[in-house]
Amino acid sequence: MAGPEPIDIPLRWIDDAAPPRLPLGATFGVPLPRGEVTDPGTLSVVADDGTAVASQTWPLATWPDGSAKWAGVALAATDRPVEAYRVLRAESAPDAAALSARIDVTESDDAVAVSTGPLSVEIPRSGDRLVSSVAVGGTVVAVDGRLVSSRQDRPEPDHAGRSPAVGVVESVAVEQSGPVRAVVRIEGAHRDETGRTWLPFTVRLVFAAGARTFRLVHTFVWDGDPERDFLTSLGLRFRVPLRAASVDRHIRFAGADGGVMREAVRGVTGLRRDPGSAVREAQLEGRATPPAETWESGVADLLRWVPQWPDYTLRQLSPNAFSIAKRTAPNRSWVHVAHGTRSDGYVYLGDPAGGLGVGLSGFWQSAPTGLDIRDAHRHEGELTVWLWAPDAPPMDVRFYHDGLGEDTYVEQLEALEITYEDYEDDLGSATGVARTHEIEITGYAATPGLDELASDIAHVARGPRLCATPDALHTAGVFGDWDLVARDSAPRAALEERLDQIVDFYLGQVEQRGWYGFWDYGDVMHTYDDDRHVWRYDIGGYAWDNSELATDLWLWTTFLRTGRADVFRMAEAMARHTGDVDAYHSGPLAGFGSRHNVQHWGCGCKQPRIGSATFRRPHYYLTADEHSRDLLVAQRDTDQAYRGIDPWRKARPDEFPPPAPRLDRIMVGLGTEWGTLAAGWLADWEITGNEHSRDRLLNTMADIGSWPRGFLHGHARYDLERGRLVEPYDGVDVSHLNAIFGLVELCAELVELVDVPGFRDAWLDYCRLYISTPERQRAELGQEIRGNLFPQWHSRLTAYAAAHDGDHEAADRAWAAFFAGGEVTPVDLGPGRRVTPPEVLAPVDELPISTNDAAQSSLATIQNLALIGDRLR
């Protein structure tokens, strides 16, 4: 009897080279063939020379038959990562006891203790500390890790009126307990001196075997009143024990491009009297200085006249400028130390007996940020990394205009005609949006040398990533229809060049246009203003993109087929941003998001499509990131948000003004809305096995499959209680929006995943008829289809049907539709244009494209090449 099929998944570093070290190990996901792996614990990892590697595996998602669909994989920390690894099926689960390094997690009523080997961390179950102690080799290098914040009740700076608060822990749970990786989840909220709580947070502490570093992933939900709550600071603070004399207390700050500032609380370099090269070199290198009696020039006796500098501050108040200052005491002036462009966001405080380093990923990109050291002359110094620096203007999330008199739906729809903004009073609120930061915390047994410190800083600024190779991902058949890059014919090479040109342009626009900042980093703009040579940042619904027309999915699909590191990092930043900032996570709108606007939360059009699980699944499955898992699982309840708002309230010309929605049966479009709800149910079912989500997915698929015109009905009522689609529109209603928010990719997966009667045919009929001939449409539907706009984007529907049916004529019609062009974009983009001062503030590049077209024409290109590439002429 034949044994199980071999599992052999090659991995690669997305930067095409192994990093010098893996201080936090590596975590990633790999796809698995259907029905082949029932227990991911039987998988193992080997280096490229066949040597077994300490690893841990667990299920991320399952196939409908219960077998593993995606597995999470973690590698231990190591100073010797190799160029390539492979995930294999092991004959038996790895023997945890044989691991050279392992994690031990010990739980008690009061605390959770985690040991990685070199590092020990204690996590209290209650109180105002996330971490009570961090120790390396038995020496405590940090205590009292806390979240700190402050707020005031007016937008103008008012330092005297600030109310300080601290994060208070409400629950602690061990989500993963080793042997190679452990995760501890902490939940709580900030509490001020009056007892008020706000800013609920979720913190995950992620540990790797053999590591002296652990990651802290911090997410908060903004739940204040925009008119009276102005956040003035938000940070993470530790106390650092200091045991050495002030000349041996060392301070390090990361500058730009790998630069490091090295100082001591009391310096011995540059003095009028020279203590000797051995003393100077020891201090500069972070070693203990020689005994005082060996110093030259009597400097040791004169040292008391050299000032101590216990307080340091680095501020990155804009993405392009940081400054460092220091002072001798709180009542003394600050002295400028240095300034630069973009700090890598890392700070160290310690002495020869040990110390603590803390780094914030995306530091300059997320400005206004900061790093502080205080009291470094005392027995405990204070180290703070600021997510919102206290020197920055108070955070102001009020809506950007006063409503302009748009008091009725009639006025609001009229204003929509000129600004493309769907304004509605009280619906432009940020209350319920979120933000996630990643912080790396490293305990040192001694002040690190420059090479070690530079390596740790680089890990924070640009962490290495392992991923299955594009070929392995393609073989697995994940995330719809795409194929690998090929340039084996002139027409195909031309389309590949066009794909590269578009993604390269957007990568460049992020930098040229400065799409950075606390709330903005990760998003791109929607539409361009050719007259001002700027993106329409201040024009209603033309500004921030907010996932409009599946921008996220375009970037992830591009990464899948190319393996490009720059595309991965842009896609990951977008996944963080659009999943957190553009969607609501608490309150009546939880599960819905905001359509594109000047502010990410500004548009009154609230719909589920913004937070679609279709856009988020690639990040979770490729990285095994727990926060992305949270976002996906939360989507299972998005349908309940319809009880608080009706997205169709302004879109029924036959019922205007619209009646109050029926809370038991709500109107949903079969693309933008059902497609989003279905994606959430699919994600929850395959991640958690939730039968409620499974039933809602399969039942609504069956409903669509049972109707005479399937998806061509366009919209129907959704029964909230029963989880069924009812009362389909009595006729044909095709919208150009239905298929372009991930429905194409979702249905390509669903028809292969589950066999629901009628569903495959319903989807194929939609694909066959959308841009079919008028004669065929009349013959099959009794009428021509109206509303089937943007043939280039939808050419992939025809391509899907052509590939399924083996219909060459349909394939040729699909390519003809593709080359007809997009929304506003020519197929041949040309070389673009460079615009220089004084016409603009700084040189910028322009390309005749909108983000709608960038996403949809790129996805159409990729899918057409995969489905009907052989008919490209």
pLDDT tops 80 at residue 655:
no
Statement to judge: residues 64 and 119 lie in one domain:
no
CA–CA separation, 149 vs 162, rounded Å?
Answer: 10
Would residue 601 count as lying in a domain?
Answer: no
Q: Which helix (H) or strand (E) holds 386?
A: strand 380-388
Tell the burial category of 274 from Cβ atoms under 10 Å away from its Cβ (0-12, 13-18, 19+). middle
> What pLDDT, on a 0 to 100 scale, did the predictor assign at position 3?
59
Q: Residue 423's domain is classified under what CATH number?
A: 2.70.98
Q: Which helix (H) or strand (E) holds 316?
A: strand 311-318
Statement to judge: residues 105 and 94 lie in one domain:
no
CA–CA separation, 630 vs 185, rounded Å?
Answer: 12
**Mean local confidence (pLDDT), 82-104:** 75
pLDDT tops 80 at residue 100:
no
> What pLDDT, on a 0 to 100 scale, did the predictor assign at position 7?
93
**C-alpha to C-alpha distances, 452 to 23, 457, 786, nearest whole angstrom:** 10, 9, 64
> What pLDDT, on a 0 to 100 scale, did the predictor assign at position 563?
98
**Mean local confidence (pLDDT), 783-802:** 94
> What pLDDT, on a 0 to 100 scale, did the predictor assign at position 93?
46
Q: What is the pLDDT of residues 347-378, one digit of tens each?
A: 999 999 999 999 999 999 999 999 999 999 99
pLDDT tops 90 at residue 95:
no
> What pLDDT, on a 0 to 100 scale, did the predictor assign at position 649?
84
**Mean local confidence (pLDDT), 449-469:** 96
Collapsed DSSP state (helix, strand, coil) of residue 11? strand
Q: What is the pLDDT of residues 399-415, one digit of tens each?
A: 999 999 999 999 999 99
Would residue 16 count as lying in a domain?
Answer: yes
Q: What is the pLDDT of residues 685-735, one digit of tens each?
A: 999 999 999 999 999 999 999 999 999 999 999 999 999 999 999 999 999
Would residue 807 count as lying in a domain?
Answer: no
Neighbours of 325 (CB within 10 A): 16
CA–CA separation, 114 vs 101, rounded Å?
Answer: 13
Tokens of 784: 């021509």
**Mean local confidence (pLDDT), 534-539:** 98
> What pLDDT, on a 0 to 100 scale, did the predictor assign at position 664?
78
Q: What is the pLDDT of residues 186-241, one digit of tens each?
A: 999 999 999 999 999 999 999 999 999 999 999 999 999 999 999 999 999 999 99
Would residue 350 count as lying in a domain?
Answer: yes
> What pLDDT, on a 0 to 100 scale, did the predictor assign at position 647?
86
> What pLDDT, on a 0 to 100 scale, did the predictor assign at position 346?
98
Q: What percent of the chain has pLDDT over 90?
A: 92
Work out how many domains the chain is built from and give that number.
2
**Mean local confidence (pLDDT), 382-411:** 96
Neighbours of 616 (CB within 10 A): 27
Q: What percent of the chain has pLDDT over 70?
A: 96
* Domain enclosing residue 452, as ranges: 101-266+307-464
Neighbours of 575 (CB within 10 A): 28
Q: What is the pLDDT of residues 300-331, one digit of tens each?
A: 999 999 999 999 999 999 999 999 999 999 99
Neighbours of 237 (CB within 10 A): 19
pLDDT tops 70 at residue 795:
yes
Q: Which residue has the higher pLDDT, 58 or 666?
A: 58
- What single letter denotes the amino acid at residue 265? V
DSSP letters, 338-349, are EEES----EEEE
Q: What is the pLDDT of residues 572-610, one digit of tens each?
A: 999 999 999 999 999 999 999 999 999 999 999 999 999
Statement to judge: residues 56 and 165 lie in one domain:
no
CA–CA separation, 75 vs 209, rounded Å?
Answer: 8
Last residue of a domain, one of 48, 80, 98: 98
> What pLDDT, on a 0 to 100 scale, did the predictor assign at position 90?
76
Statement to judge: residues 132 and 251 lie in one domain:
yes
> What pLDDT, on a 0 to 100 scale, did the predictor assign at position 824?
59
> What pLDDT, on a 0 to 100 scale, did the predictor assign at position 663?
65
Statement to judge: residues 61 and 106 lie in one domain:
no
CA-based torsion, 592, 595, 601, 602: positive or negative: negative
Statement to judge: residues 345 and 208 lie in one domain:
yes
Tokens of 677: 């709800």
Chain centroid to CA 390? 25
- pLDDT category, 822, cuts 50, 70, 90? low
Statement to judge: residues 191 and 329 lie in one domain:
yes
Last residue of a domain, one of 414, 437, 464: 464
Show the 3-state SS of 266-300.
CCCCCCCCCCCHHHHHHHHHCCCCCCHHHCCCCHH
Q: With beta carbons less than 8 A apart as the criterion, state whether 766 and 712 touch.
A: yes
CA–CA separation, 80 vs 21, rounded Å?
Answer: 6
**Mean local confidence (pLDDT), 157-184:** 96
- The values of phi and psi at residue 212, to 5°, are -95, 0
pLDDT tops 90 at residue 528:
yes
Statement to judge: residues 80 and 15 lie in one domain:
yes
DSSP class of residue 127? Answer: B
Show the 3-state SS of 507-576.
HHHHHHCCCCCCCCCCCCECCEECCCCEECCCCHHHCECCCCCCHHHHHHHHHHHHCCHHHHHHHHHHHH
Q: What is the pLDDT of residues 264-284, one digit of tens each?
A: 999 999 999 999 999 999 999
First to last CA, the chain: 48
**Mean local confidence (pLDDT), 334-348:** 98
pLDDT tops 50 at residue 293:
yes
**Mean local confidence (pLDDT), 455-476:** 96
> What pLDDT, on a 0 to 100 scale, did the predictor assign at position 821?
73
Would residue 217 count as lying in a domain?
Answer: yes
**Mean local confidence (pLDDT), 664-685:** 94
Last residue of a domain, one of 43, 72, 98: 98
Considering the chain, what is the average pLDDT of its residues?
95
Would residue 180 count as lying in a domain?
Answer: yes
- What single letter denotes the amino acid at residue 536? R
- Verdict on whether the full-model pTM lies above 0.85: yes
Would residue 772 count as lying in a domain?
Answer: no
Statement to judge: residues 85 and 108 lie in one domain:
no
pLDDT tops 60 at residue 96:
no
Would residue 50 count as lying in a domain?
Answer: yes
CA–CA separation, 861 vs 400, rounded Å?
Answer: 38
**Closest C-alpha among 232, 225, 224 to residue 158:** 232
> What pLDDT, on a 0 to 100 scale, did the predictor assign at position 256?
97
**C-alpha to C-alpha distances, 279 to 52, 276, 283, 377, nearest whole angstrom:** 46, 6, 6, 20
CA–CA separation, 630 vs 591, rounded Å?
Answer: 12
> What pLDDT, on a 0 to 100 scale, did the predictor assign at position 670?
95
CA–CA separation, 524 vs 516, rounded Å?
Answer: 9
Q: Which residue has the higher pLDDT, 98 or 561?
A: 561
Statement to judge: residues 346 and 406 lie in one domain:
yes
Statement to judge: residues 153 and 82 lie in one domain:
no
CA–CA separation, 293 vs 670, rounded Å?
Answer: 83
> What pLDDT, on a 0 to 100 scale, did the predictor assign at position 646?
85
Count H helices, E strands: the chain?
A: 18, 37
CA-based torsion, 601, 607, 610, 611: positive or negative: positive
Statement to judge: residues 208 and 67 lie in one domain:
no
> What pLDDT, on a 0 to 100 scale, did the predictor assign at position 656?
43
> What pLDDT, on a 0 to 100 scale, did the predictor assign at position 1?
44
- pLDDT category, 660, cuts 50, 70, 90? low
- The values of phi and psi at residue 365, to 5°, are -65, -25
- pLDDT category, 759, cuts 50, 70, 90? very high
